[in-house]
């Protein structure tokens, strides 16, 4: 516990000692981050929301699906496939020429890289089960808005055309079934004045009778009752739009094949063909479709999408903290490696009593770094001293002997 308190005190002391360096480093890194955000190329982003109802794959009044499955995942996959079908290479070529993106001639690898970069600037994904978000990124605000508008219009056109193709293919298959019954359908038959609206009115009367029976048993908030009321409103809208636009082909069918009405199969085929003709007539305008709704149109972005100054400033602050920690650590390591006795006494909170005096020798050669050479020199000196001592002893003995003889 004491060691932790001491470590905390040391950290506070180090921070107090180097706070000026840390502040300068953090401020400089934050300023660099802001500067980099101003220098980098700017990107702008515009978004749109498109609602594609599940009824897109349904045939009105028939309850049949043109994709063969009503599962949510299957329909979602079909919608995404239509998005990919809409954004073709020809579309990207037109957009690139429109905004002056291409700098290299068509067919080169550099041209393909430029086209891929333009494609990466557009993104689409499902925001919910029926809503898709489309976003486009451009070098300018106007480019981002116009690119998003073009993509949205291309997607709506593709959805419109593909649905009409599917409905017409379904109608043609029904006509072939009628022809297999031995009846030739003439497209030039005289049109009936109110055949289409009459069919819708009959359907509406049958629906109202069922609805009145359900309302006697359930409240108006019951899901089944609410669904039938929505269908009633749709039928009334279709009757108002259809008016006297009866299908000449329906009347031709009725005129050319009156005996088909006597069989259930023939009557059902004629009914489906009439409904398909009415649907194709009512869905003739791509700007007024019951299954497509533009919830949010692209607008001109007011602020840039990248780079964001606040993000770069925060990144600079974080980098400044890291860099200041590294600088403080360097200075502390350098101080610890060159610590004096006074600094050690201050760190250990003890009293400095002084240093040991340095003994200097006069005319004494510096000690050799080679230990073996020192030992050899010492042995030679000792041998010379021993020889001198022996010679001195022999000389003294000779002197004593001469004195004795005399």
Tell me the pLDDT tens digit for each residue of 361-387. Answer: 555 555 555 555 555 565 666 666 555
| 278 lies in the same domain as 324 | no
- Return the higher-pLDDT residue of 9 and 398: 9
| Strand ranges of the sheet holding 292-296, from the earlier edge strand across to the other edge | 122-126, 131-138, 44-52, 292-296
The tens digit of pLDDT for each residue in 278-306 reads 778 778 788 888 888 899 999 999 888 88
| 165 lies in the same domain as 282 | yes
- What per-residue confidence (pLDDT) applies to 84? 94
- Tell me whether residue 175 is in a domain: yes
Rounded CA-CA distance 321/317 in Å is 6
- What per-residue confidence (pLDDT) applies to 89? 92
Rounded CA-CA distance 270/96 in Å is 48
- What per-residue confidence (pLDDT) applies to 351? 79
Q: Is the pTM value of this prediction over 0.85?
A: no
- What per-residue confidence (pLDDT) applies to 5? 47
| 292 lies in the same domain as 328 | no
Least confident of 31-35, 136-140, 315-319, 369-373: 369-373
Average pLDDT rounded to a whole number, residues 114-119: 93
- What per-residue confidence (pLDDT) applies to 309? 86
Whole-angstrom CA distances from 368 to 232, 321, 379 are 114, 51, 15
Sign of the CA dihedral 82, 247, 274, 198? positive
Structure tokens at 71: 């599962």
- Tell me whether residue 365 is in a domain: no
- Tell me whether residue 198 is in a domain: no
What's the mean per-residue pLDDT of the chain? 76
- What per-residue confidence (pLDDT) applies to 167? 86
Average pLDDT rounded to a whole number, residues 180-203: 53
- Tell me whether residue 302 is in a domain: no
| 31 lies in the same domain as 96 | no
- Tell me whether residue 290 is in a domain: yes
- What per-residue confidence (pLDDT) applies to 207? 74
| 104 lies in the same domain as 31 | no
Average pLDDT rounded to a whole number, residues 257-262: 48
- Return the higher-pLDDT residue of 184 and 347: 347
Rounded CA-CA distance 333/199 in Å is 93
- What per-residue confidence (pLDDT) applies to 185? 47
- Return the higher-pLDDT residue of 200 and 180: 180
Residue owning tokens 């050479």 = 373
**At CB < 8 A and 24+ separation, what contacts does 28-31 make?**
28/320, 29/316, 29/317, 29/319, 29/320, 29/323, 30/313, 30/316, 30/317, 30/320, 31/316
| 29 lies in the same domain as 110 | no
| 140 lies in the same domain as 264 | yes
Average pLDDT rounded to a whole number, residues 79-105: 93
Question: Sorting pLDDT into bands at 50, 70 and 90, what band is 349?
Answer: confident
Domain assignment of residue 104, given as a range: 44-192+246-296
Q: Where are the alpha helices (DSSP H) in 283-362?
A: 309-337, 341-347
- Tell me whether residue 213 is in a domain: no
Class of residue 119 by CB neighbours under 10 A (exposed 0-12, middle 13-18, buried 19+):
middle
The tens digit of pLDDT for each residue in 205-255 reads 777 877 787 787 777 777 677 767 767 777 777 677 665 444 444 444 444
Domains identified in the chain, total number: 2
Rounded CA-CA distance 164/171 in Å is 10
- Return the higher-pLDDT residue of 70 and 195: 70
Sequence length of the chain is 406
The string of DSSP letters for 219-264 reads: -TTSHHHHHHHHHHHHHHHHHHHHTT---HHHHHHHHH-GGGGGSH
| 24 lies in the same domain as 170 | no
Task: Say whether pLDDT at 182 is over 60.
Answer: no
- What per-residue confidence (pLDDT) applies to 74? 80
Class of residue 201 by CB neighbours under 10 A (exposed 0-12, middle 13-18, buried 19+):
middle
Rounded CA-CA distance 261/268 in Å is 9
| 90 lies in the same domain as 28 | no
Question: Sorting pLDDT into bands at 50, 70 and 90, what band is 397?
Answer: low
- What per-residue confidence (pLDDT) applies to 249? 46
- Tell me whether residue 316 is in a domain: yes
- What per-residue confidence (pLDDT) applies to 248? 46
- Tell me whether residue 383 is in a domain: no
Do 122 and 87 contact (CB within 8 A), yes or no?
A: yes
Task: Say whether pLDDT at 261 is over 70.
Answer: no
Residue owning tokens 């919608």 = 79
Question: Sorting pLDDT into bands at 50, 70 and 90, what band is 347?
Answer: low
| 288 lies in the same domain as 313 | no
Average pLDDT rounded to a whole number, residues 133-140: 93
Residue 64 main-chain phi, psi, to 5 deg: -105, 155
Is the backbone of residue 100 left (phi > 0), alpha (psi -120 to 50) or beta? Answer: left
- Return the higher-pLDDT residue of 227 and 25: 25
């Amino acid at each position: 516990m004491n060691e932790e308190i001491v470590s905390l005190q040391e950290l506070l002391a180090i921070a107090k000692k180097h706070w000026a360096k840390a502040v300068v480093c953090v401020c400089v890194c934050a300023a660099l981050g802001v500067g980099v955000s101003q220098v980098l190329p700017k990107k702008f982003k515009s978004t749109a929301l498109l609602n594609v109802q599940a009824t897109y794959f349904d045939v009105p009044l028939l309850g049949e699906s043109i994709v063969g499955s009503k599962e949510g995942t299957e329909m979602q996959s079909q919608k995404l496939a239509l998005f990919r079908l809409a954004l073709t290479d020809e579309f990207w070529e037109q957009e690139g020429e429109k905004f002056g993106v291409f700098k290299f001639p068509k067919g080169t690898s550099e041209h393909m890289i430029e086209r891929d970069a333009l494609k990466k600037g557009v993104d689409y994904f499902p925001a919910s089960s029926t809503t898709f978000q489309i976003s486009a990124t451009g070098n300018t605000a106007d480019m981002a808005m116009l690119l998003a508008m073009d993509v949205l219009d291309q997607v709506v056109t593709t959805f419109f055309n593909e649905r009409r193709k599917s409905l017409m293919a379904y109608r043609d298959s029904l006509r072939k079934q009628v022809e297999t019954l031995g009846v030739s359908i003439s497209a030039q038959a005289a049109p009936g004045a109110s055949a289409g609206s009459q069919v819708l009115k009959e359907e509406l009367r049958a629906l109202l009778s069922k609805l009145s029976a359900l309302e006697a048993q359930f409240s108006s908030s019951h899901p089944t009752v609410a669904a039938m009321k929505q269908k009633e409103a749709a039928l009334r809208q279709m009757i108002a739009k259809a008016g006297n636009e009866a299908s000449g082909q329906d009347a031709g069918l009725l005129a050319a094949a009156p005996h088909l009405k006597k069989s259930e199969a023939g009557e059902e085929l004629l009914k489906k063909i009439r409904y398909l003709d009415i649907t194709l007539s009512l869905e003739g305008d791509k700007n007024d479709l019951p299954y497509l709704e533009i919830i949010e149109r692209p607008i001109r972005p007011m602020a840039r999408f990248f780079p964001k100054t606040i993000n770069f400033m925060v990144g600079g602050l974080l980098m400044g903290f890291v860099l200041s920690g590294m600088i403080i650590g360097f200075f502390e390591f350098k101080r610890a490696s060159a610590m004096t006795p006074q600094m050690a006494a201050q760190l250990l909170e003890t009293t400095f009593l002084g240093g040991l005096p340095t003994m200097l020798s006069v005319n004494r050669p510096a000690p050799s770094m080679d230990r073996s050479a020192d030992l050899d020199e010492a042995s030679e000196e000792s041998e010379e001293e021993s020889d001198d001592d022996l010679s001195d002893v022999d000389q003294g003995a000779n002197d004593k002997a001469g004195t004795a003889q005399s």
